[in-house]
Structure 1
Amino acid sequence: MFDTEHLVVVDLGFGDAGKGATVDWLCAPEADLGVAAVVRFNGGAQAAHNVVADGRHHTFAQFGAGTFHDVPTVLSRHMLVEPIALAAESERLAALGVRDPLGLLAVDGRALLTTPIHIAANRAREDARGSSRHGSCGRGIGETAWYALEHDAPTVADCRTPTILRAKLDRLAAHYDALIGPSAHGYESVDALVAMYRDFAGAVRVSDDGELTRAAARGRLVFEGAQGVLLDEWRGLHPHTTWSTVEPRHARALIAGVGGTARVLGVTRTYMTRHGAGPLPTEAPLGHPEPHNGTGPYQGAFRQGHLDPILLRYAVEVCGGIDGLVVNHLDAPGTLGAAAAYDTAAGRVTELRPGPWRDLEHQQRLTDRLSAATPVLEPVVGDPADWLARRLGVPVVLTGHGPDRRDRRVRRPVLGATAGDRVATAARSA
């Protein structure tokens, strides 16, 4: 066991707040934090973590956002792994100058596989919902998680045993045949999938819990979350949520297994965003440029709204508290507003409280209340990051003033350790 402060990066909103840029900066040599690996602790191939630095841009999905610094990625057992998309992402990273991207990767054998069958089923269900779409990314995440609840689902470790994998894939295809039909799977045959997945298992390191222990022996771990806390499968605004535990309980449990302490960084923007359906109480046509976010064929439009400290305080509580704020998009133009309260049918609301874990009826009632809420706005006076820190009661450690790595600014040490102090000193003298 190792007495190290490990970092957990979570998005306090609905996603797209800048987790990738944050993780990239934490792994950069100038941060001097001694990061040994980036650990993905939730989500799957639907993640879209944009990093812009040194003339390169990449949208990280399954690889950790420290890859530009040759920091290894560990895909934990809580990840949903999509090998075909992973291979394509590896090729894109290689074209950007990353040497042997797959060599930087370790994948827990217990992680579930997302297949073309899951993806086709996901899209068929979302299409059938019509105007009542949940806001799915259409990448098979929910279908992968749901199928595993009731069936013996394929895992990464199965890719090393073709007979076991073929049997599981045959049952998977038969289960979904009535929904999507054999011609809609998006692959030639189960045999073709088995061959591809066997090659995948030979190209990556298939691991177990020992991988994290070995990585922690080399230095600090950065746990990179996907999506946003308000999309959490149990504490988000149901049913417009992801089939993934976004709040940091899984990251904390993994850290407990290797020793050390968890310091949680909550990431937000100076305004709210939401990609797809579901409540966004402060929604307004702010018109901020979004070069890396547009309308998705399944998610729908990329929406914007005024800052919402009520929802952000709710997210902080869902996380069990956080240790520092990362505030991005301080370069956004225009006058900033924020929700001081909501007017609802039951009266004025200034705070929201999470219900018991896994109580989806409570989460549905919260969604219904927010869907009909009218925000009461107040101006954001002074520096938006400092203003937000006062509203949330959490110190700001890092700010973003543009899309590039060089646009990050340190406000205070990320860690209490000497390394963090050196970061702050270097930033002040820059």
Structure 2
Amino acid sequence: MREHVIVTDLGYGDAGKGTVVDWLCAQEPVQAVVRFNGGGQAAHNVVLPDGRHHTFAQFGAGTFRGVPTHLSRFTIVDPLALASEAANLARLGVPDPFGLLTVDRDALLATPYHVAAGRARELARGEKRHGSCGMGVGETVAYALGHPALAPTVGDCEQPVRLAHKLHALRRELEAAWWTAGPVTGQMTVPPVEDCVAAYRAFAERVPLTDSAFVDALLREGPVVFEGAQGVLLDEWHGFHPYTTWSTTTFANALDLLGGASAMRLGVLRSYTPRHGPGPLVTEDRTLETAERHNGTGLWQGPFRVGHFDAVAHRYALAVAGGADALALTHLDVPVSRMCVSYDIGELPVGATGDLDGQARLTERLLGARPRYVDGVDDWPGAVADALGVPVFLGSWGPTSTDKRRLNSVIAPERV
């Protein structure tokens, strides 16, 4: 691998970004994996040929290969969850997980108070739940938008007095959400501010914190893999509102971090289209047998759902993401043969960024859309390339790096 690569899911998430990043890091030396959106709600499964398995949340999916992780300013950082993840990686044989981690000081800090408030609000929605992961990511972003001067950042972990002031203000503001959601959620146990300050200060002493120039230095030193979270169809602006994430899931944040440097934009898809929790899934088929290894019903997200490959939805994802240079197609070992090539409502229009009312109207149309299929697909890489107009660069027939094969040589990626 001689160039930077941006790995983004062109569906609703769960397409296999983690296993693709692991494969990229196994090919040739990679300088770092840079996370460029989302936070502790990510769930990127990596299985090694020796059977070891880890679901990566905040650490990059190249960690088993010894590739460092950088959490950029676009990520939501949860130090307590990071400590738990690091402990599991150590049990799996990674000698010093925190020694492979750097974090941008400007990244927002997710706290137990955000988590409790976010869960309370989701429970209060009842049957209208959005499918939150219950990790406080959306609550963290919402609080920062409403209280920009008081939103805790990773850099505040180096300044205990300043951090304590922000955490006290945060707790006072969000306690109202816990109680208004009902008496049960109002009694959620959260640690005192003093305990959070001590834990976050220890985190800042253990992990190098950086400024914006750090990524520029990484890019000069060698190839970097940018690892996205969630999927483009869940994008905060272009996803199907309100069943979305509070994060930009397209290539945009990575392109910003690249600062004009070139990279291959690699979109990841399954040979069928999955999603977690509520929201549109036009091709859903509850009889579809996919033998999921690492997905199931989540306490907060809700059930794991599957449908036939939805070329219409993925074309929409490509359009709102500005296109891709190549695709990685996973789960080719699953015996599926049906592809949705059109809807009875036509192609999906790309609305104006920020028009959430327009996206909500699009969601309502999707909930009543009917798919039109072609059956008998046996050459999935060829069929997907034809349906989406993008070459399939990598095929995956299983969970490990040895189950993958390069399919097409993608030369001279579009300069961005």
Q: Give distance in 1, aligned partners of 2:66 and 2:217.
A: 17
AA matched with 1:262: A
SS of the residue corresponding to residue 125 of structure 2 reads helix
Paired residue for 1:93? 89
Tell whether 2:270 aligns with 1:269: yes
Q: What is the TM-score with the length of structure 1 in the denominator? A: 0.91
1:14-55 C-alpha deviation (Å, 9 max, x unpaired):
000000000000011xx22x3100000000000000000132
Give the alignment's Cα RMSD to 1 decimal. 1.5
CA contact (8 A) 1:118 1:143 kept: yes
Q: Which residue among 153, 170, 173 is the counterpart of 1:172? A: 170
One-letter identity of the residue aligned with 1:121: A
Does the 8 A contact of 2:117 with 2:175 survive in 1? Answer: no
The whole-number CA distance in structure 2 between the counterparts of 1:406 and 1:116 is 39
Q: Tell me, what secondary structure is at the counterpart of 1:388?
A: helix
Amino acid at match of 1:37: A
Q: How far is 1:262 from its partner?
A: 2.1
Provide the secondary structure at the position in 2 that maps to 1:35: coil
| AA partner of residue 99 (structure 1) | P
SS of corresponding position for 2:372: strand
**Equivalents in 2 of 1:187, 1:339: separation in Å?**
46
Equivalent-residue separation in structure 1 for 2:324 and 2:37 (angstroms): 18
| Cα separation, 2, equivalents of 1:98 and 1:412 | 33
Aligned to 1:196: 199
CA distance in 1, matches of 2:377, 2:177: 53
Deviation sequence 1:263-312 (CA, Å, 0-9, x none): 10000000010100000000002021112111011111000001110001
Superposition pairs for residues 153-302 of structure 1, below 5 Å?
153-180=151-178, 184=187, 186-256=189-259, 259-285=260-286, 286-302=288-304
Distance 1:323 1:167 in 2: 46
Query: Between Structure 1 and Structure 2, how many residues are aligned?
Result: 403
Asked whether the equivalents of residues 380 and 387 of structure 1 are also in contact (C-alpha less than 8 Å), the reply is no
**Structure 2: how far apart are the matches of 1:385 and 1:367?**
29
Aligned to 1:410: 406
Instruction: Answer yes or no: is the 8 Å Cα contact 2:73–2:105 preserved in 1.
Output: yes
- Say whether the 8 Å CA contact 1:235–1:357 is kept in structure 2: yes
Q: Deviations over 1:367-412 (max 9, x none)?
A: 0110011112211433111101011110110011011221111102
| Equivalent position amino acid for 2:268 in 1 | V
2:336 maps to 1:338: no
Aligned residues with identical type, % of pairs: 54
> What amino acid is aligned across from residue 390 of structure 1 in structure 2?
D
* CA deviation string 1:92-131 (max 9, x = no partner): 1111111111011000000001000000101100101111
1:144 aligns with 2:145: no
User: Aligned partner of 2:219: which letter?
Assistant: A
Query: SS of 2:284's equivalent?
Result: coil
Q: Does the CA contact (< 8 Å) of 1:5 and 1:260 recur in 2?
A: no
Distance in 1 (CA, whole Å) between partners of 2:118 and 2:42 is 16
Cα distance between partner residues in 1 of 2:137 and 2:411: 34
Question: CA contact under 8 A between 1:187 and 1:193: conserved in structure 2?
Answer: no
Distance 1:184 1:46 in 2: 23
Long gaps (5+) in structure 1: 418-430
Counterpart residue type for residue 115 of structure 1 = T
Post-superposition offset of 1:184 = 4.1
Question: Relative to structure 1, is the Cα distance of residues 415 and 48 closer, same or farther in structure 2, using a 3 angstrom cutoff?
Answer: farther
2-side partners of 1:370 and 1:127: how far apart? 25
